[in-house]
Structure 1
């Protein structure tokens, strides 16, 4: 893993990043892809809910909420 590659959970609201990897396991990767989360896509963090709640992302104009546990499996490069 590149030193500039970090989990999605390291971003703050307003920050943008490029997805470089989607966790382990075909099932998890397929789940991410059905939500529109794929390698190469640019995401922006809209909100991080308190108490380890969901992370709200903007992906190509669509808002997606995912849990912190899932967000940890998405590796990104900050823009």
Structure 2
């Protein structure tokens, strides 16, 4: 199992598992939130990290990181949808 970074307030980017641990938002709910944020013209910033060997065929899920600041801005603009 890969080693995960500790969750701190100083981190700017979270993986979906960290978001589930911190905010209680599942991957499916996160996907829906990201679609809704895009429709509201306040997209949540994400990045997909490259694999060390350059191959995309060895893993089912890519290494996705989500910007904490943009996620929190969306959650503040849409209170009541997700309890933080």
Report the TM range for the smaller structure's normalisation: 0.3 to 0.5
Whichever of the two has the greater Rg, that structure is 2
TM (norm. structure 1) is: 0.33
Bigger proportion of residues as helix: 2
TM (norm. structure 2) is: 0.32
